[in-house]
Amino acid sequence: MFETVLIANRGEIALRVLRACRELGVRTAVVYSAADADSAAVRHADQAIRIGPASSRRSYLNAAAIVEAARQVGAQAVHPGYGFLSEDADFAEICADNGLTFIGPPPAVMAALADKSSARALMSRAGLPLSPGSVAPVPTAAAAAEIAEAVGYPVIVKAAAGGGGRGMTVVRTPGELRRAYTRTRAAAQAAFGDDRVYVERYLTEARHVEVQVLCDSHGNGVHLGTRDCSVQRRHQKLIEEAPAPALPAAVLDTIAETALRGALEVGFVGAGTLEFLVDAEEQFHFLEINCRIQVEHPVTEMVTGIDLVHEQLHIAAGVPLRWRQEEIRLRGVAVECRVNTEDPGRGFVPTPGRLDRFTPPGGPFTRVDTHASAGYVIGPWYDSLLAKVIVWAPDRELALNRLERALDEFDVAGPGMHTTIPFVRRVLDDAAFRKGRYTTGLVDRLLGVPGAAPAQRPTATPAPRPASAATPDVPNRRTR
């Protein structure tokens, strides 16, 4: 195991990684910007190194400053968290060139998978089903129109280098396509420095289902079941749950096994997530692979009892995978909601400011991952994620009731500040969501967006999941 790990991130994920390191006896160092000088991660780390001003480009995206900080503190490894440089193959290669272990896939693998078009081609060769559309980037609007005509409208134009819900445009009619194609290419160039795009059929009544995998550098791998992430605004997730509800066990097993096969085929190493769209006929289509820890990883931890950040660290240190597939057992249901400082009534616009009150919920099987406290200032420079509330229960109905109770207890307030808690309550009250029969169109339907898909029609009653060999008898029960 490493002696010292540098954490190249901020907010709740920096604190999450720091705690995992401390539990394994690993010293921690964090980098921070001027805006985060008083952050919880800075207070709790063994060492903290300021690397720049508030601007992400001059701090958390400054690869040279991060590597220099790692060298200063004598770190052997860098944990990138999520976002920022977590899926930057060039940064992973720079780490390797400076004798640092990047906690994630090898640079060459990451480079191939971070490019969405390349990932589609690799996964197609590995036998994973894709949504109808292009595999290679589409060079012209005329070529995009030909593909759209062949697969049928609506389609979605996506940035090949995109991520985090950015670089996507849904096109519902032929008349919209040329403008959408041009606009998406321009946005991709501005956001990612790469204007390549591809086109695929847009599934309007789809479920967003993903699979957590762990793969080591010795050719071993396991999947940890599924998560449903269909509750999204602007292609960014608001509520996640594990396992995915209201789908037959055989479908979930096939998706999970297919995902693991694909990850092993392309040489993936670390903790990764393969994302799929599941249509109304329960056919699934590969969407993308994320080469990092996910925001929603706690729901998988709660139903498996496996600490994913611990496993990341062991795998990066060269330890053979500590789990066999027959040892993975899912118990109960976990649900997570993201509490963002955003105003749902104004299109989820961020509402930064000072937290005058901040008292997160507690209680049985309730976990809150947050970096905030009363008096903390939410600035305008970074993501608006304030906290994640995660609950576990033996069944889904109790888990949803527990989440409602936890949100009722959550006391957060500040001048001009809004959060997504009221909107999450609306989702929890929705009849289709309570039955598990919802799609990625749920948020648009609740907001009254024109053209939003109706609630998903009922599907076959899911068969009970078979129990497999034992893992810890209870999920992570820690509360805070």
Catalytic residues: 292
Q: Cα dist. 344→69, 256, 341, 418, 419 in Å?
A: 39, 33, 10, 8, 8
**What does DSSP assign to residue 440?**
T
Q: How many CB atoms lie within 10 A of CB 375?
A: 12
3-state DSSP assignment of residue 222 = strand
Amino acid at 368: V
Long-range contacts of the stretch 92-97 (C-beta < 8 A, 24+) = 94/63, 94/64, 94/67, 95/67, 95/70
Amino acid at 243: P
Amino acid at 351: T
DSSP 293-352: --TTHHHHHHHH---HHHHHHHHHTTPPPS--GGG----SEEEEEEEESEEGGGTSEE--
3-state DSSP assignment of residue 365 = coil
Contact call for residues 165 and 236 (beta carbons, < 8 A) = yes
DSSP 448-479: T-TTPPPPPPP-PPPPPPPP-S---SS-----
Amino acid at 178: R
Q: What are phi and psi of 122, to 5 degrees?
A: -65, -45
Contact call for residues 17 and 7 (beta carbons, < 8 A) = yes
As a residue count, the chain comes to 480
3-state DSSP assignment of residue 190 = helix
**What does DSSP assign to residue 280?**
T
What gap in Å lies between CA 158 and CA 169, rounded to an integer? 7
What gap in Å lies between CA 366 and CA 241, rounded to an integer? 14
Tokens 């027959």 identify what position?
Answer: 326
